[in-house]
Homo-oligomer: A and B are copies of this chain.
Amino acid sequence: MNMLATAFMNSSPFHGMPSGKLGSHTGNLLAHTMINTKHVSNWGLQYKAPTKVDAKKLGALDSNILDQEKEGPNMVSDLGLRKMIQDGFIFQEKVCIRYYEVGPDQTASVETVMNHLLETSVNHMKTIGLMHDGFGSEEMSKNNLTWVVAKTHMVVDRYPTWGDIVQIDTWKSAHGKNGVCCNLTFCDCKTGEILVRASSIWVMLNKNTRKLSKFPNMVRAKLEQCFVDTLPTVKEDTRTWSEEAENIYEHICKGLMPRWSDLDINQHVNHVKYIGLVIESVPKPIVENYEIHSLTLEYFRECTKDNVLQSLTSILGNDKGIIANVHFVDCHHLLQIGGGGGNIMKGRTRWRLKHSKSQGSGASVRSLANGSV
Q: Which residues of A contact B (CB under 8 A)?
A: 1, 76-81, 94-96, 98-100, 102-104, 106, 109, 111, 115, 118-119, 122-123, 134, 162-165, 255-257, 259-261, 263-267, 270, 272, 276-277, 279-280, 287
Contact = CB atoms under 8 A, between A and B. Distances in A.
A316 to B, nearest CB: 21
Nearest to A282: B260
B276 A259 contact: yes
18 contacts: A77-B163, A77-B164, A79-B94, A79-B96, A80-B80, A81-B96, A98-B119, A99-B123, A100-B119, A100-B270, A102-B265, A103-B264, A104-B264, A104-B266, A162-B265, A259-B280, A260-B276, A260-B279
A118 B99 contact: yes
Q: 6 shortest A-B CB distances, which residue pairs?
A: A261-B276, A100-B115, A104-B267, A99-B122, A77-B163, A98-B119
Contacts of A162: 134, 265
Contacts of A134: 99, 102, 106, 162
Contacts of A78: 96, 165
Contacts of A100: 115, 118-119, 264, 270, 272
A97 to B, nearest CB: 10
Given A100-B272, A261-B279, 4 more contacts: A79-B95, A81-B96, A98-B115, A260-B276
Q: How many copies of this chain does the complex contain?
A: 2
B165 A79 contact: yes
Most buried by B among A79, A272, A279: A79
Nearest to A103: B263
Contacts of A267: 104
Contact of A96 (B77, B99, B259, B276): B77
Contacts of A118: 99-100
Contact of A287 (B260, B265, B276): B260
